[in-house]
């Protein structure tokens, strides 16, 4: 077993250290507070060739895998610059097209995705189905040579900015299939079509990416818009959902590290009793040390999940465990950092409390903690199912 990163992987991991010299946490926060895309940073990332990390070179990408994408995200988040756009676009949509798209689909979307000319979002969640994806009702019904898409999605990250959405739809309603996982089809949907309406969902936390409700009203689609096979979408769905869990785990471990580094710096300087820095008190240092240990453990599982995915091995077990533990470790890391900062942990000037909402979000999304634990209990451990 070898835990050493290759030279290229190290360069990818350390990119966040380099780019944050120009585009730091303060820069990111300005855009996050305005809910606007940090366009100069995206342009830099695109021109440095990182949007196409998971795309083969022949389609304009870097020909790397989930491991490198995760290292990239973790390295950015280590510096306090988490980018959700990289999750829904370059990882979930471009990664899936690269793996399962037709040749025509790859040529149509990947080169422009790699250059940043095209942006993507991913839409599975529906208001009435919630965590129970099997019960989604968005449906593409045959119409002439193509299909007509009707339905509704909710909480779609970055839909306002995206040119295309990767939409998880049914082509056969749940009531008409013998197994609930049958009858799903994945489509690339043009967000500029007049049949696509969107409504902003205001949220209580600051990130550049905005959240949207989508309505599809008779949107025409063709066989060329299908990713994978008609009716067999479920078979490839986890090649986008596992990467989502893995990369978001990387985001959490990175943000946790950023919080802990800031806390160490502060606790080594701040003195309130006997000229001793507060970091010398075990009441301050032990929670930070526990959090550091948990973050590094979460990071190990995250990279194991990415490794399994890249090897074509079953990655669900590791991806779910990584997502669960990284979110919990991230929450504890940020919480212990807030405590170490005392009152300053709550000020805009120090910006530590600002780290909390995103790590906390990742206990709920993309798959909530309870459904992740259900997966581990049932699929990994063989316990009976309750729902």
Ligand X SMILES: Cc1cc2nc3c(=O)[nH]c(=O)nc-3n(C[C@H](O)[C@H](O)[C@H](O)COP(=O)(O)OP(=O)(O)OC[C@H]3O[C@@H](n4cnc5c(N)ncnc54)[C@H](O)[C@@H]3O)c2cc1C
Binding residues vs ligand X (CB under 6 A)? 88, 122-125, 130-131, 155-157, 203, 211, 361, 364-368, 370-371, 374, 387
| End-to-end C-alpha distance for the chain, whole angstroms | 39
Tokens of 236: 């490839």
Q: How far is the CB of 105 from ligand X (least distance, A)?
A: 20
Q: Which residue minimizes CB distance to ligand X?
A: 130
Report, in Å, the least distance between residue 374 CB and ligand X: 5
Taking the complex as a whole, how short is the minimal distance between the CB of residue 35 and ligand X, in angstroms? 12
- Token readout for 142 is 């045959």
Residue 47 CB, nearest approach to ligand X (Å): 25
d(CA 215, CA 228) in angstroms, rounded, equals 23
Quote the least distance from Cβ 366 to ligand X, whole Å.
Answer: 4
Please, what is the minimum distance in Å from the beta carbon of residue 89 to ligand X?
10
Rounded distance between C-alpha atoms, residue 355 and residue 260, angstroms: 11
Output 101 or 366, the one with its CB closest to ligand X: 366
Element (H, E) at 342: none
Whichever of 299 and 374 has its CB closer to ligand X, that residue is 374
Beta carbon nearer to ligand X, 67 or 374: 374
Q: Which is nearer to ligand X, 105 or 362 (CB)?
A: 362
> Do the beta carbons of residue 118 and residue 163 sit within 8 Å?
yes
DSSP-H helix ranges across the chain: 7-19, 25-34, 39-47, 66-78, 85-86, 94-100, 103-115, 233-269, 282-311, 316-340, 356-364, 369-375
Residue closer to ligand X (CB basis): 273 or 387: 387
If residue 147 lies in a helix (H) or strand (E), which one and from where to where? strand 146-157
H helices then E strands: how many in the chain? 12, 10
Closest CB to ligand X among residues 20, 133: 133
Assigned token pair, 83: 């980018």
Q: Which is nearer to ligand X, 207 or 315 (CB)?
A: 207
Q: How far is CA 139 from CA 39, 193, 222, 241, 268, in A?
A: 34, 17, 14, 20, 57
Identify any residues that bridge with 164 across adjacent strands, giving them in sequence order.
120, 190
Q: To the nearest whole angstrom, how small is the minimum distance from the Cβ of residue 237 to ligand X?
A: 11
């Amino acid at each position: 077993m070898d835990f050493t990163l290759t030279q290229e992987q190290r360069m990818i991991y350390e990119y966040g250290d380099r780019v944050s010299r120009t585009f730091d946490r303060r820069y990111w926060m300005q855009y996050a507070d305005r809910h606007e895309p940090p366009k100069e940073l995206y342009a830099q990332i695109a021109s440095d060739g990182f949007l196409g990390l998971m795309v083969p070179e022949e389609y304009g990408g870097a020909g790397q895998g989930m491991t490198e994408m995760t290292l990239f995200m973790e390295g950015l988040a280590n510096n306090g610059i988490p980018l959700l756009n990289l999750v829904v676009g370059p990882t979930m949509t471009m990664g899936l097209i690269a793996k399962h798209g037709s040749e025509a689909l790859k040529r149509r979307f990947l080169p422009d995705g790699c250059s940043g000319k095209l942006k993507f979002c991913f839409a599975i969640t529906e208001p009435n189905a919630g965590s129970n994806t099997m019960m989604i009702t968005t449906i593409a019904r045959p119409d002439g040579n193509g299909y007509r898409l009707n339905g509704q999605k909710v909480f779609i990250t970055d839909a306002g900015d995206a040119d295309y959405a990767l939409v998880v739809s049914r082509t056969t309603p749940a009531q008409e299939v013998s197994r609930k996982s049958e009858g799903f089809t994945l489509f690339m949907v043009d967000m500029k079509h007049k049949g696509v309406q969107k409504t902003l969902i205001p949220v209580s936390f600051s990130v550049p990416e905005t959240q949207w409700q989508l309505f599809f009203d008779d949107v025409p689609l063709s066989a060329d818009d299908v990713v994978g096979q008609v009716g067999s979408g479920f078979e490839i769905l986890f090649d986008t959902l596992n990467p989502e869990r893995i990369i978001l785990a990387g985001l959490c471990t990175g943000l946790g590290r950023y919080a802990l580094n800031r806390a160490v710096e502060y606790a080594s300087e701040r003195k309130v009793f006997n000229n001793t820095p507060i970091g010398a008190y075990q009441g301050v240092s032990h929670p930070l040390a526990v959090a550091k240990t948990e973050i590094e453990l979460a990071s190990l599982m995250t990279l194991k999940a990415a490794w399994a995915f890249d090897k074509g091995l079953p990655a669900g077990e590791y991806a779910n465990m990584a997502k669960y533990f990284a979110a919990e470790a991230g929450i504890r890391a940020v919480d212990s950092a807030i405590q170490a900062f005392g009152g300053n942990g709550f000020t805009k000037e120090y910006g530590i409390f600002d780290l909390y909402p995103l790590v906390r979000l990742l206990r709920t999304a993309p798959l909530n903690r309870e459904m992740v634990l259900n997966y581990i209990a049932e699929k990994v451990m063989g316990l009976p199912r309750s729902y």
